[in-house]
Amino acid sequence: MSRLACTVHARSGRLFVKGTQLDDPSAWVYRHEAQVTRHAPLAPRLLWEVEADGWLLVGYEYVDGRHSDLAPGSPDVGSLVRTLTAVSEVPWPETLRKKPLHTRWADFLPDGVPTGLQGRSLSHTDMSPLNMLISADGRLRLLDWALACPAPAWADTAFAVLRLISSGHSPEQAEAVARQVPAYRHADPSDVGTFAHAVLVAWESMERTDPLPHRAALTTAARSWATYRGPIKA
């Protein structure tokens, strides 16, 4: 989605560069992502930011790896659990202003948002396998922190449940993986159930308004998970 995204081969080695024109309305997203990446665990290191000749460019550590395989039985699932555990332990850097997840999703949540959905942990919020790289040492690195925001410590694990289901896990199997992350294991089940139903409503809405090819499978996964969690408890 960037106007520029490329690998640069420099004398010091490879690096990944992304950016856009300074007058692009989305330029703030690149600045926000760079600031969040400074605090994010298992993210590519931020190397530099440059504004020149009408462009905003951001240089990141080049991560050499492959996209993750979240299918049942894949060793990458264990790497995902370790990464989610690390991310769940990091608080949101309060020097950064960003709308929290429960506000972003206000249209999809019931009135009177539960306290458990108003967390202030640093959350990636886009657990697509395309944003995950498995490096040679088996670590799972999370890329593209542009959508990061304050959220419950278990939110990224909940988003990962949906990706596990869409990769072939049953809801029960996906939940078993998620419960290996302490923040998710200790979350209030009613809060997680509310979250599951909110994701379904949100993704159904996106599928109607912006029907991209990948959305149908994700909506199906969200529907399966919401059904498994059962009705929202008052």
d(CA 163, CA 62): 25
d(CA 42, CA 89): 12
Which pLDDT belongs to residue 129? 93
- Look up residue 36 and give its amino acid: V
Predicted structure pTM score = 0.94
Say how far residue 191 (Cα) sits from the centre of its chain. Answer: 19
Which pLDDT belongs to residue 206? 84
Which pLDDT belongs to residue 151? 97
Spatial CB neighbours of 187, under 8 Å, sequence gap ≥ 6: 116, 152, 154
Which pLDDT belongs to residue 136? 87
Which pLDDT belongs to residue 233? 65
Residues listed for the chain: 234
Which pLDDT belongs to residue 47? 96
DSSP 131-185: GEEEETTSPEEEP--TT-EEE-TTHHHHHHHHHHHHTT--HHHHHHHHTTSHHHH
Contact at 8 Å (CB) between 200 and 226?
A: yes
Which pLDDT belongs to residue 182? 98
Q: Are strands 13-21 and 4-10 parallel, antiparallel or unpaired?
A: antiparallel
In order along its 234 residues, the chain shows pLDDT tens digits of: 789 999 999 998 999 999 999 999 999 999 999 999 999 999 999 999 999 999 999 999 999 999 999 999 999 999 999 999 999 999 999 999 999 999 999 999 888 888 999 999 999 999 999 999 999 888 999 999 999 999 999 999 999 999 999 999 999 999 999 999 999 999 999 999 999 999 999 989 888 887 777 788 899 999 999 999 988 765
Angle between helices 171-178 and 76-88 (to 10 degrees): 50
Q: In what order do the strands lie in the sheet with 65-67?
A: 65-67, 132-135, 140-142
Contact at 8 Å (CB) between 200 and 163?
A: no
